[in-house]
Structure 1
Amino acid sequence: MQNKDQKIIELIELNDELENYFRNTIIPQLFVDANLILRKFTPPAMKQFKLHNKDIGKSITDVKDNFRFPSIVDNIEQVIKTGELLEKEIQTTDMRWYQMNILPYIVKRSKTTNGVIITFIDITLRIRDLKEQEKLIMEHELLLDTISHDIKTPLTSLGLTIEMLKKIPEKGMEKFPLLLEKIENGLVKIKGIIIDLTDSRKSDHHYKTVEELLDIEQILEDVRLTLATQILESGAQIKLDISHSEIVFVRRKLRSIVYNLVNNSIKYRDSGRVPEIIIKTFLEGDYFVISIEDNGRGIAKSDLEKIFAKYVRIATDVEGTGVGLHLVKEIVSISGGKIMVESEIGKGAIFKIYLRNQTLTEQHNLKA
């Protein structure tokens, strides 16, 4: 009798600990049993998902609309059936983004799944920051590209013209040398401004082009979060086949390469089918290769070279600036790599990015 009373006391204490945890945690969490009945939720879940105490005891199917994520029931059933953790990004009724983790609640004695614990981590700010970074990277790279190609060339031509003018006889042109000097001084000042602008990224911490050892899967995760809204709206399925994951490269540049290609795969999807994107990485000779294949509308063979020209847009029925693929090619080419495309109208496209497969040790030796 005493042992029974002791066990009851222990159960009460455990229940109190659980209640205190659920009451005080700042993380939205739900406990759904094996019959899909909502048993508990934390106060943050009440606020974020507009749940009420009267919802406890209801089937999760009756409150699923609160999550703006219709497949949540299917995901819960999948975890109960397989006993495996499931992670996914979802958007809630207040238009915020969450990393949803569905963990199986396993009864140790019987080793069966008796429900799930669902945890939500707010990633709205991270997604917003990643999108803002991608926008800034695009604007920054475009500015540098414009300075490099659209301004430096005419300035060089102007410099040559000045040199020619210097050789013209000065007889009868008393003020000519003074005017020529002013033009030349102005040219020098403009060149100085351009040098300051192009060199600023070396000292600007936000845009510092520091090469480091990167894990491609982390880059892909950032890109996936940045494009979370587009992926959700299009229903795009992204599959990974990562044979090699490490590469030495500039983080923001690698992210920009992958972002632009995956974004295009979603934007230029075929209206008659769900977008499917396969991302592969592997080593080929001295190159680290990133292959991005889609089942989109495809590109005509006659347009394959045009797509990399700045401001050129083959399709005008979707939003775009015509600089994304241009910048991708610039980044790849400057790094000593290459980009290849295979595509046909109606059969999707495969973009293969070849980046020099350089280790940190090799990089150090080259600098030394």
Structure 2
Amino acid sequence: MNLQSLVKYNQDLKILLVALGYFLFARIGYFFVFEELYFLPTWPPSGLALAFIVILGRRVWPGITIGALLANILAYWNTSDIAPNSIILLSALIAAVHTLEALLGNFLLKKWIGKSQHFAKTTHVFRFLFIALIISVVSALIGTSILYLQGMFGVSEYLQRFISWWVGNLVGILLFTPFILSFREELTWKISKANIIELTFLIIAVSTITFILNNENLRTPLEQAIPFLVLPFLLWLAFRFHLGVAMAGTILVALLAVYLTTHDIGPFVLEDSSNAMLLLQIFIGVISVSTIVLYATEKERTNTQKALEQLNGSLEEKVKIRTEELEMENANRKSTEKALQASNIELRKINSELDNFVYRVSHDLRAPIASMLGLLNLAKKDTNEEMKNLYLTKVEESAKLQDNFITEILDQSRNARLEVKKEIIKFDKIINDTFEQLKYANPDDLVKKNLSIKADKPFISDEWRLKVIMNNLISNAIRYRNGREPIIDINVKIENEQAFITIQDNGRGIGAEHIKKVYDMFYRATDENAGSGLGLYIVKETIAKLKGDIQIESQVGKGTLVTLKLPSLQ
């Protein structure tokens, strides 16, 4: 069997199911007929037909026609004053009216409510009631007119027949359409303590009513009050249970009321059967509408509450996320503020150093020039050769002083400007080259050097910056001697990716009051053999570039110990 045949087969089964259901519901309706009038207080197939065509689709309409045709033929077949062919024609026309009623109802439901849950909102319920009213009026008007034209009754009975058909169909739609459509929703049942308590009260109430009905003195007023007594029961079903359960209770109450009334029992029994049936129909219609509206109200309230809970949870989550974001933003802001404060401090320091630097540089650059110009003027005026040679020697010393000063400025500029270069360091070569350079700069100095280097692996750093450091520290050890031959002990030890360097001399030393200031730009601890005051400042800044550390220990008259700790730049 191919797909097309399978679809057609399933469609035929649906049509057959609808026809069978319509016929059975019609027989149930005829079971509750008012025999004196042969009127039906409710027409259940109308509700079933509308529900089935909504659920299964409008293509099942032949099932409604077939079921209605069979039900009406069976109902009219025993009518002696109607010919068989007229019965078939009449039944076919009425079946077409019932089919039209269901198709029109399906069309209006889709147009005004849509395919969503039809009873989830009170607005949907009232639209459904309006649709039921329209289609039942259309069906009653056409059907009653057909019966009238077929001579089934006279003009005087037209209105009564119309109202009976209209209200009967309307009540059938109100009772059975919501009941059947309700099972499209998920049916859940949870037994709770509250349900048990409520069920207990219901049993007590039913037992009390049964006891009173068996009492002859109280039976009559209780029978008249039954319509009011069932209302709390229906309210309880509508508020606490699924719509299918609530409508099942309503249908049970309606069928019981019809059965009792047809057997002359209950508050709806009147002398005029037509009035009794109309009163009964009004009662059934009212309890049906009340049950549906109350259920929809409770459903809408529950859905709104769930939506509010979800919205509240969503808002709480959004507030939590936003709070975390604000905390992060606050932390970032504080971090930025700290960085800005540090930058401001560094900027003020740089500005201060720059001002001081400009002033001292201009002063220290001009001083040797002024000295050389003065010595040259003296040399021009003095005819003594020995004095001229002395003047020239002094000029040379001033030129060397200025050259050293310019070299230090260039070293500082390069240290601040150039990136750190990583290369393998040979400490023995750097230190020996430094002593050799200083030897030619000061050929009369006799310096004793003691060098010890211990390395377990190669050391990576910036060779040029290490030369600047060694040149300044060693030149200071030579320059500030203590009236005796300079002795300089240098120890280099490399372990755990770090270099530990000590440089110890036997010079004049530094006073304790100057130790903390010797790293300041242009600071001079003594005026004797005074340099520019940039040496240790350059050393400190260069070591900082290499992420190292420097410590100075000194005693006046005994010498100075400089300790360096430098990391290997891997």
With the shorter chain as reference, the TM-score category is 0.3 to 0.5
Under a length normalisation based on structure 1, what TM-score does the superposition of the two structures give?
A: 0.42
Larger Rg: 2
Q: Which has the larger strand fraction?
A: 1
| TM-score, scaled relative to structure 2 | 0.28
* Bigger share in helix: 2
